[in-house]
């Protein structure tokens, strides 16, 4: 699980929930529910980070709060 902030909102234009990752430029996903949008965003973050590593692009450190699960 990645520790970047994710903003989830309903998009009337797309008729779907959108999950945006502001710290990773262009990284977003959508789904029929907030949970689906978040799951898709986690996958998009993995792909974004893998691509950045492959091309040697800088990867920003997460600025958001870190959630710890017991």
pLDDT digits (tens, 9 = 90+) for 6-54: 999 999 999 999 999 999 999 999 999 999 999 999 999 999 999 999 9
What pLDDT shows up at residue 2?
80
Residue 49, token pair as written in the block: 């980070």
* pTM across the whole model: 0.85
Q: Which residues contact 62 (CB under 8 A, 6 or more apart)?
A: 2, 3, 4, 5, 23
Give the DSSP H or E segment for 48.
Answer: helix 34-55
8 vs 56: CA distance, rounded Å: 29
What pLDDT shows up at residue 11?
98
pLDDT digits (tens, 9 = 90+) for 54-68: 999 999 999 866 554
Domain locations in the chain as residue ranges: 7-55
């Amino acid at each position: 699980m990645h520790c970047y902030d994710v903003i989830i909102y309903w998009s009337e234009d797309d008729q779907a929930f959108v999950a945006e990752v502001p710290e990773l430029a262009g990284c977003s996903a959508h789904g029929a529910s907030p949970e689906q949008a978040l799951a898709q965003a986690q996958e998009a973050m993995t792909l974004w980070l893998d691509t950045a590593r492959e091309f040697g692009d800088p990867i920003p450190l997460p600025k958001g709060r870190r959630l710890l699960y017991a």
